[in-house]
Amino acid sequence: MKKPLRRKLLVMSCALAMGIAGTAASAAYPEKDIRFITAFAAGSASDIVARLIAERLQAALGQPVVVENKAGASGQIAANYVAKSAPDGYTIMLATNTTHSANPYLFKTLHYDPIKDFTPIAQICNFPFVLAVSGKLPVNNVKELLAYGRKHASNLSYAYGNSTGQISAAAFDKATGLHATPVPYKSSPQAMTDVIGGRASFMFADLASAGSYIKSGKLKLLGVTTSQRSSLAPALPTIASAIGQPGFDLAAWVGIFGPAHMPQPVVQRLSSEIVKIVSSADMRERLNHLGAEPTPAPAGQFGPFVARQLAVWGQKVKEAGIPPQ
């Protein structure tokens, strides 16, 4: 009787010691450099957001936060890397709706699960996506675009250079019955060049990129993809209201994740600091300048948001009839 009791006490002591050690390690976090992985190329809007966050997070935590670009395969390279990293808080990732909302429906084989393989840490911002048409096209609103498209159906096309642009355009095309011809490009800037030149009729692009061509008359903006008007372009109506479909709501969001099973004290520390950073007047101004709307939200709110967005994007991909590759 004594040996089983002694063995049980030993096991309990070890478990308690491990728990205390884990708590102590979390309390001391961070004790070394933090690797901040971004899924996109240096100089991209998402990369700039990552570097703005990293600079301020480093000051708040007292340890270096080093941005590493692992671009390619629509963010899959970065997502795979982080999903397989140690869940100790020393490898985190700036991800977007591309990696965590669209990819699961656009690729037959995905080597990560956007929900099970990650720990949501904090939401950062949204990049409003807008419907942009060539300045040469004789339309000034969505209603006129639809009327024009029905008269010139054989000549109507939409360009896209990323998954957000592709899904938004395909969903719009399906919802309105335009039957425009999709034209893929290697990048959004290339797609925009052809829309400006009149070689493609329209596209969905981020507000910052498309907005820079408004004053020159090279592009006209007709609406935003989210269910609410953008604070950065309040005069633009929502696509949902323009086509009479309240369910048309696609957000190009940005947030921070770590690998699954991170210690809660570490998640809470990172989440708290990041929300403070994004909520600051300085950071809000910098994000607005990039064409982004700050949407600071802690881990507890960000996780359910990611799950909802996964369902929304999946529905739009299926409705648009986009086959996985």
Q: What is the structure's pLDDT at 158?
A: 97
Query: Would you tell me how many other CB atoms lie within 10 Å of the CB of residue 15?
Result: 10
| CA nearest neighbour of 159 among 129, 127, 187, 139 | 187
What would the two tokens of residue 50 be? 């990552």
Q: What stretches of the chain show up as alpha helix (H) in DSSP? A: 2-28, 45-61, 76-83, 97, 103-106, 142-151, 163-176, 188-196, 207-211, 239-243, 264-279, 281-289, 299-320
- Looking at residue 261, what DSSP letter applies? T
Phi, psi of 137 (to 5 degrees): -75, 130
What would the two tokens of residue 268 be? 């809470």
Homologous superfamily of 129-224 in CATH?
Periplasmic binding protein-like II (3.40.190.10)
Amino acid symbol at 26: S
Q: What is the structure's pLDDT at 4?
A: 54
Q: What is the structure's pLDDT at 211?
A: 86
| CA nearest neighbour of 235 among 254, 218, 251, 214 | 214
| CA nearest neighbour of 128 among 283, 321, 292, 325 | 292
- Contact between 305 and 299 under an 8 Å Cβ cutoff? The reply is no
What is the gyration radius of the CA atoms in the chain, in angstroms? Answer: 23
- For every residue of 85-146, DSSP letters joined together read S-SSSSEEEEEEHIIIIIHHHH-S--SS-TTTTEEEEEEEEEE-EEEEEETTSS-SSHHHHH
Q: What is the structure's pLDDT at 194?
A: 96
Phi, psi of 202 (to 5 degrees): -155, 170
Q: What is the structure's pLDDT at 18?
A: 46
Bridge partners (DSSP) of residue 183 are 159
- Reported residue count of the chain is 325
How do the pLDDT tens digits run along the chain, 325 residues long? Answer: 455 555 555 555 554 544 544 455 566 899 999 999 999 888 888 999 999 999 999 999 999 999 999 998 999 999 999 999 999 999 999 999 999 999 999 999 999 999 999 999 999 999 999 999 999 999 999 999 999 999 998 889 999 988 999 999 999 999 999 999 999 998 888 999 999 999 999 999 999 889 889 989 999 999 999 999 999 999 999 999 999 998 888 889 999 999 999 999 999 999 999 999 999 999 999 999 999 999 999 999 999 999 999 999 999 999 888 999 9
CATH 3.80.10.10 for domain 33-126+251-320, yes or no, is: no
Q: What is the structure's pLDDT at 221?
A: 97
Per CATH, 33-126+251-320 and 129-224 having the same topology is answered yes
Show me where the domains of the chain are located: 33-126+251-320, 129-224
